[in-house]
Amino acid sequence: MDDRKLLILYGSQSGTSQDVAEKVYREAKRRHFATRVMSLDSYTVANLLQEGLVIFVCATTGQGDPPDNMKLFWRFILRKNLPSNSLVNLKYAVLGLGDSSYQKFNVIAKKLFKRIQQLGGQSLVPVGLADDQHDLGPDAVIYPWLTSLWNQVLSLSPLPPGLEIIPGHIRPPPRYNVLFSEESSKVPDLSVFRLGNQGNNAYSQSNPFYARLISNNRVTSEDHFQDVRLVRLDIQGSNISFSPGDVVSLAPRNSQESVDEFIQHMKLSPNTLFTLQQNDPDIPLPFTLPHLCTVSYLLQHYLDINSVPRRSFFELLVYFADNELEKEKLEEFCTAEGQEELYSYCNRVKRTILEVLQDFPHTSANIPFEYLFDVIPQLQPRAFSIASSLQAHPEEIQVLMAVVEYRTKMFRPRRGVCSTWLAGLDPRKGVHVPVWVKRGTITFPTDPATPVIMVGPGTGCAPFRSFIQERSSKQIAGNILYFGCRNQEKDFFCADEWTSLVERGLLTLYTAFSRDQEDKIYVQHRIEETSQALWNLLDKHNAYFYIAGNAKRMPDDVSDALKAAIQKYGNRTAEEADKYLLQLDQKKRYQAETWS
């Protein structure tokens, strides 16, 4: 490579790809590369023709789909009319971030690696396939992959004479410069601050619609172990449109309790005013913060102080450690040998960034305010399947949300940032929630004559409720729902609604209440019991089959029950049943939306 320019492009559904991309950026700067970091869709893809070295960091979503900020790039790079030598001058590497509990693990990274190769690109290292399910998390793949990558990069583009790799112990400059305002007595009312242009109906993370909270009623019994809410949001006046299978994203907030704890621990003043300035022309200022911001607003809306930290978090903390005991432990967490202990300390018990900072008081006391933007990742939006139809509920979005709370060995229970915040909002106070709608990964058939079989235990029924409402409002039958939960009297969501549709002949409902009898009954058992009817619908009536819910065991168990039905009533071998299911998948007649 003639010059030492490097481009890092990331595509992410959450903030993980961006976090990894920024780690690569810091490593590239240490090696004196002129480096840019951009999301894939903010990059003009035609410029790849002129690039010499590009590192792609990308996630996979849903049914093997690209993340939102990669979709335009993806459509372009897959165009069949691109010449096979388009990228002959490009040297590249691809790092995928995925979860092997999903059926199409890291498929976007694999396809991207292969596609660029087809267009003449020269790969530096094999595609990296990081896995959230690995005992040590995605870092188990990321760090060895980066070591191989930098060895290759420096062999092709050695350091200029007189320059050496900047040692790891030298602290990099902060991402942003911070200017504190002297007018601290004039604290603005940021409760009325609104992102974006409210007259623009193209809603997104940078321009959300502020939907009024109508209600967030509990739909499980008070004595049930899990609190599940049906959240209703008023989108009147927004012109927001959506279809069954689409998702609504919203920007959550940290709890006031954790914000107050952080402020107290870091000895900050909540009303201190500041503005940010660029410190690097390649790193834009965050668009989700007001120009004149308070420390309190920053902590409530922007810094993800309740997330479980990654290894890179500890690498940055080392720069501020002057206490020998704390420094020794932090450095150990940054070594390959210390990863098992780091996993036990952080991931196994879901210890938060705030709790880690409290565990390392001398180090956290040394962190300058401007470095908080480097050390702590940005709070990411949360996405939920829309659980309602505009046909049934005009100008409204409904979400079926489980309030996340569980215990580990930590003294305090672990709580979901978004679900806890949303469940705690009082609709009587005129609360508004920033939202935007995105195309979902599930697509439903448009032909009213097509039977649709839906397996949605727990909150997995949310996208199916949207579709059933849509069809029922038009008096369209052929809807088959398999719903599972623990107890009929405690967590049978929307029971009255389903029963009414059954009585009207618009829904066929099979229920599995796992704890209402001695032998546990799950949705896969109901599929086994009705397998002949299922096979008839699939083979004779071109039915579509959907699964939505927790990715642990249910999707595989349901898939196995379906294959058994194909074997038994389709008179096929196990291998032929697999092939039949693959054909359904390719025709989009078999779809799964699962999460871990």
Q: Which residues are annotated as a binding site?
A: 12-17, 59-62, 97-106, 132, 382-385, 416-419, 459, 514-515, 520-524, 557, 595
Q: Which residues are annotated as a binding site for NADP(+)?
A: 459, 514-515, 520-524, 557
Instruction: State the pLDDT at residue 184.
Output: 58
34-43, 308-317, 353-362 — which is least confidently predicted?
A: 34-43
Structure letter (DSSP) for residue 589: S
Mean pLDDT over residues 400-428, rounded?
93
CB 94 within 8 A of CB 116: yes
Q: Which is more confidently placed, 538 or 335?
A: 538
Instruction: State the pLDDT at residue 406.
Output: 87
Query: What's the one-letter identity of residue 572?
Result: R
Task: For residue 56, give both structure tokens.
Answer: 């792609």
Mean pLDDT over residues 218-241, rounded?
95
Q: Which residues are annotated as a binding site for FMN?
A: 12-17, 59-62, 97-106, 132
Transcribe 271-331 into DSSP letters: T-EEEEEESSTTSPPPTTS-SSEEHHHHHHHTB-TTSPPPHHHHHHHGGG--SHHHHHHHH
Q: Which is more confidently placed, 262 or 50?
A: 262
Whether 157 has a pLDDT exceeding 80, the answer reads yes
In the β-sheet with 228-234, what is the strand arrangement from edge to edge? 382-385, 247-250, 432-438, 209-218, 228-234, 396-402
104-134 as b/e: b if 16+ CB within 10 A? bbbbbbbbbbebbeebebebbbebbbbbbee
Instruction: State the pLDDT at residue 484.
Output: 96
Mean pLDDT over residues 470-479, rounded?
96
Mean pLDDT over residues 182-197, rounded?
79
Mean pLDDT score of the chain: 92
Task: For residue 546, give both structure tokens.
Answer: 């959907």
Helix (H, G, I), strand (E, B) or coil at 173: coil
134-138, 420-424, 494-498, 542-546 — which is least confidently predicted?
A: 134-138
Mean pLDDT over residues 143-151, rounded?
94
Whether 125 has a pLDDT exceeding 50, the answer reads yes
Per-residue confidence at 199, pLDDT binned at 50, 70, 90? low
Whether 102 has a pLDDT exceeding 60, the answer reads yes
Query: Residue 480's Cα: distance from chain center in Å?
Result: 29
Task: For residue 173, give both structure tokens.
Answer: 């400059």
Per-residue confidence at 284, pLDDT binned at 50, 70, 90? confident
Domains of the chain: 5-156 (3.40.50.360), 201-253+381-438 (2.40.30.10), 256-375 (1.20.990.10), 452-594 (3.40.50.80)
Whether 497 has a pLDDT exceeding 80, the answer reads yes
Q: Against a cut of 0.85, is the pTM above it?
A: yes
Task: For residue 486, give both structure tokens.
Answer: 């623990």
Mean pLDDT over residues 353-381, rounded?
96
Instruction: State the pLDDT at residue 261.
Output: 97
Per-residue confidence at 1, pLDDT binned at 50, 70, 90? very low
Residue 480's DSSP bridge partners are 453, 508
Q: How far apart are CA 525 and CA 521, in angstroms?
A: 6
Task: For residue 428, give both structure tokens.
Answer: 């009587």
Instruction: State the pLDDT at residue 289.
Output: 95
Q: Which is more confidently placed, 21 or 176?
A: 176
Q: Which residues are annotated as a binding site for FAD?
A: 382-385, 416-419, 595
Whether 2 has a pLDDT exceeding 60, the answer reads no
Mean pLDDT over residues 461-482, rounded?
97
Which residues in 451-550 belong to E strands, given as ranges? 452-455, 479-485, 508-513, 544-550
Instruction: State the pLDDT at residue 596.
Output: 65
CB 319 within 8 A of CB 375: no
39-92 pLDDT per residue, tens: 888 888 889 988 999 999 998 876 677 887 888 888 889 999 999 999 999 999
Q: Which of 177, 114, 95, 91 is nearest to 374 (CA)?
A: 177
Could you give the count of Cα atoms lying within 13 Å of 26 in the half-sphere of its Cβ? 20
Q: How far apart are CA 243 and CA 189, in angstroms?
A: 37
Q: How far apart are CA 249 and CA 205, in angstroms?
A: 8
Q: Which is more confidently placed, 41 or 288?
A: 288
159-180 pLDDT per residue, tens: 989 999 999 889 999 999 999 9
